[in-house]
Structure 1
Amino acid sequence: MILAIDVGNTRIKSAVIEKNTIIETAFFSYSEFQNSIEKILKKNIEVEVLVVASVGKLEKTAFEIFSDRVKIYYIDRKKPFPFSNQYATPDTLGIDRAVLASGSVLKYPNQNRLVIDVGTCVTYDFIDDQDVYYGGAISPGLRLRYESMHHFTAKLPLLQPQEPTAVIGNSTQESMHSGVVNGLTFEIDGYIEALKAQKENFIIILTGGDANFLAKRLKNTIFANSNFLLESLGNLYQYQINND
């Protein structure tokens, strides 16, 4: 049994995984990190390994406090990945994107794949049926768009994501909801359509904290799985220990 931990830009996500099946998940802030992990380990005494991937500000040393009870395994660029990396700047590829690309290869073999992660930022990653990773795109996520409008204007309020009632907003708040939610929906659908003009048929995996919120609005057929990164962490760990 392993505890997969994804240290993101704004929060930490974890999953207890046994035999490739997620038993339970948890989400917590940086300030709650130690207590939350303690509770998970106390509840799941069979956890043997912490599998950690981080794009956030939490240092690796923060996990050493648990090293007397479990093995700490860090996902980093020095370890093997199940794809050929054709990114022009491979050393700048975020670990989260590498984990998602790996998860798509391991779960959906011999297919073209587009992984869309809708979190703090929205990332698009394309991996072909020969397991070659090419790259994709990065843009602001839902909350970042709301926060940007609030912080960089004098009077626009800070709103939480909400389903817009119409394309044409009849108030400032409704206009903001339409601009953010519809804008991101149109962006995702537009990116998919643009890629379809260049690539053969591919499956689309939508993940991240806002995946379920956005999935029903998209025109294209997708696999929506908000826990795909955590699942991919578990699968990539198994791949790496078998191929290291």
Structure 2
Amino acid sequence: MNVVIDSGNTFSKVGWFENEKLLRYTTRLEFAEMIAEVRSQRPEHVLFSSVSTTVEEFVHALDLPSNILSLTPDTPLPVTKNYDTPHTLGADRIAAATGANYLYPQENVLVIDMGTCITYDLVDQMAVFQGGLISPGVKMRFKAMHTFTKRLPLVEEEKNPAFIGKSTRSAISSGVMNGVQAEMEGIIARYRHSYPDLRVVLCGGDAPFFESSLKPPIFAVPELVLIGLNRILTYNVSLQ
């Protein structure tokens, strides 16, 4: 069994795979909970990807004889990076692109990952990661308006708010939610101008707010990052 860990600043997500098949996954785990989950299964191979914890800390806490791989900028990948600063490229971005290439081989795929930031990344039909865009995420936009003004309230996400807000709160909600949707539609249209056969894949925590309102065809793959991490893990195991 393979286990892949996507460890963020606060929480971790863990996926269990049998070869390429995702058996189950768990989200919003704190570090101690994540360690306990992984220990309970005694996996054969582990891939650890983190923006906050070193692999040494993880290995020490796990204390298992598993074959543990850490995802770094130098880790061999089944896709090629055409990126000017590959050592600054986020692991979640390259993992999602790898997952998209695995699910839709020999296709031009735009991955939209809606997390703290919204990232738009293109992996082309030749399995080359071409880069993309990074813009503020939904929660970041709400928090920015509240933080950088004296009187605007902090508003939470809602699905399909009225386009014309009739109060300050509803106007903020409309501005952020409809603004993000318009941004995504505009960026998708720009990419499709260059890649008419483009497939668009949506993932990330805020994706459910938009997946039904974007113009089709849009494919929602919630666990795309985990799928990509496992693809990277199996690729590296095959090189051993």
Which of 152, 156, 164 lines up with 2:152 in the alignment? 156
The residue aligned with 1:243 is: 239
The residue aligned with 1:213 is: 209
1:70-81 → structure 2 map (5 Å cutoff)? 70-81=66-77
When residues 39 and 243 of structure 1 are mapped into structure 2, their CA distance, relative to the original with a 3 A threshold, is: closer
Which of 177, 188, 193 lines up with 2:173 in the alignment? 177
Taking only the aligned residue pairs, the percentage that are identical comes to 35
The residue aligned with 1:41 is: 39
Which of 190, 193, 198 lines up with 2:189 in the alignment? 193
1:129-144 → structure 2 map (5 Å cutoff)? 129-144=125-140
Distance in 2, Cα, partners of 1:235 & 1:13: 16
The residue aligned with 2:27 is: 27
Which of 88, 94, 97 lines up with 1:92 in the alignment? 88
Aligned amino acid, residue 8 of structure 1: G
Are 2:42 and 2:64, in contact at CA under 8 Å, matched by a contact in 1? no
Distance in 2, Cα, partners of 1:90 & 1:200: 27
When residues 243 and 154 of structure 1 are mapped into structure 2, their CA distance, relative to the original with a 3 A threshold, is: same
Which of 217, 224, 228 lines up with 1:228 in the alignment? 224
1:189-229 CA-to-partner distances (Å, cap 9, x unmatched) read 11000111122311111111112221011113111011110
Q: Unaligned stretches of 5+ in structure 1?
A: none
Aligned amino acid, residue 52 of structure 2: K
SS of residue paired to 1:192: helix
Aligned-residue Cα RMSD (Å) equals: 1.8
SS of residue paired to 2:75: coil
1:121-141 CA-to-partner distances (Å, cap 9, x unmatched) read 111111111122211100011
SS of residue paired to 1:153: coil
Aligned length: 239
The residue aligned with 1:57 is: 52
Q: Unaligned stretches of 5+ in structure 2?
A: none
Distance in 2, Cα, partners of 1:22 & 1:186: 33
1:120 maps onto 2:116 in alignment:
yes
Aligned amino acid, residue 15 of structure 1: G
Are 2:97 and 2:121, in contact at CA under 8 Å, matched by a contact in 1? yes
